[in-house]
Homo-oligomer: A and B are copies of this chain.
Amino acid sequence: MELKEIQKKIDTLLSLKSGQLYQSDFLLSWDKREDEIRAVLTVAEILQMMREQNISPRIFDSGLAVAIFRDKSTRTRFSFLSAANLLGLAAQDLDETKTQIAHGETVRETANMISFLTEIIGIRDDMYLGYGNTYMKEVSEAVREGHREGALPRIPTLVNLQCDIDHPTQSLSDLLHLSRHFGSLEALKGKKIAMTWAYSPSYGKPLSVPQGVIALMSRFGMKVSLAYPEGYSLIPEVEDLAEKNSQASGGAFHKTHSMAEAFADADIVYPKSWAPYDLMQRRTELLKAGDSRHLDELETECLELNKRYIDWVCNEELMERTKDALYLHCLPADISGVSCEHGEVAGSVFERFRLATYRQAGNKPYIIAAMMFLSKVKKPTEVLSDLLQGKPARAS
């Protein structure tokens, strides 16, 4: 019965054009076609169902999945290593304090030195605007050169675990969560999602989550309402992309400086803090220059600015304006009265959705495993069918 469900998903996968994911990196969701996005979601669901049925999807007998985290992380780190482990790879941190990754030359060399038996490289590099995505492309080019020139027997493929522009493993996990909640991807058409800034007592949160969300949800016919206080805009190119996507998908994209307006009649709300774009740009320059005095000043300035919008909080009053909306968060949330005095969300609201946010987060290991799987398996439907029948199967 459940196995039939899995087989049905495999049939769905068969109908999707996802062949270009093979041996490709997954860096930006908007570089992938809709079929490819759907294929990742479908494989994630298949792997999740297999896990529930205690069917092993192990396709590697050996091999490494190297994680490079340039920012602290628990959730994404464990998601990445769980995904690697599920497929049979050993996850390995590259601790940059024990090595030296600096300028171009060394990136190129280190990328090869860690890749002799590496199948996957996962990178989080979200601190500096204009750098994270660039660094990932540099690593990717380096290992492809190494493969071409005979230094690496296989091509390690990259998974973006959050850069300065996008956070695709998050946004696809969110999309899968929505697809489940509303019944299907098709059911999302016309649904209103409020991606809104919210107050946080902390500073310097990356822009990649809201950017990833508006860029992806706008492709599935949703009405995306983006709300933030003046001065907290996202990277202009990504806002433009969301606008274009909406037009193409028959959805809508709307910007506002009012949280209440965004919440009005929303089916989904995603209130989350981020740093102002131009402050992040100044911060990047100061970090590069190692100018700690001005960095301190900038932090003070930014926290002062934040405080002006301390009323941007997802509370019961705002929730009542919605259509019984589903609350989303990438976690950890700043919860008023729980993890801080004033935060992004009221304690009572968060508690109502707490377990739902765990389930939302629980998609991530499978989304990452699906990205790995599709980049490493030439004939995914055949391999999944073999696994379903308990036959041994291996990455190609």
Contacts and interface: CB of A to CB of B under 8 A. Distances in A.
B72 A98 contact: yes
B99 A82 contact: no
B359 A52 contact: no
A77 B151 CA distance: 18
A287 interface: no
Interface string A333-373: 00100110000000000000011001101101100000000
A373 to B, nearest CB: 13
A292 interface: no
A116 B52 CA distance: 11
Interface in A223-276: none
A15 B113 CA distance: 33
A90 interface: yes
Nearest to A366: B116
Contacts of A206: none
B82 A355 contact: no
Contacts of A74: 94, 98-99, 110, 113-114
Of A90, A103, A146, chain B has the most CB atoms within 10 Å of the CB of A90
Contacts of A106: 332, 339
A79 interface: yes
Given A105-B339, A106-B339, A146 B358 contact: yes
Contacts of A359: 149-151
A113 B331 contact: yes
A5 to B, nearest CB: 15
A54 B376 CA distance: 13
27 contacts: A48-B153, A51-B153, A52-B153, A56-B62, A62-B86, A62-B87, A62-B88, A64-B81, A64-B85, A72-B98, A73-B98, A74-B98, A74-B99, A75-B113, A78-B116, A81-B90, A81-B92, A82-B118, A85-B117, A90-B91, A91-B92, A105-B338, A109-B354, A116-B364, A116-B365, A150-B359, A152-B362
Contacts of A105: 335, 338-339
Interface residues of A, number: 64
A345 to B, nearest CB: 12
The 10 closest A-B pairs by CB, nearest first: A151-B358, A82-B117, A56-B61, A74-B99, A149-B355, A105-B338, A78-B114, A116-B365, A112-B358, A75-B113
B75 A355 contact: no
A139 B172 CA distance: 28
A48 B152 CA distance: 11
A361 B99 contact: no
A358 B111 CA distance: 10
A61 B89 CA distance: 11
A145 interface: yes
A92 to B, nearest CB: 6
A58 interface: yes
A394 B74 CA distance: 29
Given A74-B113, A146-B358, A151-B358, A85 B98 contact: no
A19 interface: no
A109 B332 contact: yes
Interface in A110-164: 110, 112-114, 116-118, 145-146, 149-154
A257 B63 CA distance: 45
B116 A394 contact: no
B72 A99 contact: yes
A327 B118 CA distance: 26
A58 B113 CA distance: 22
A90 to B, nearest CB: 5
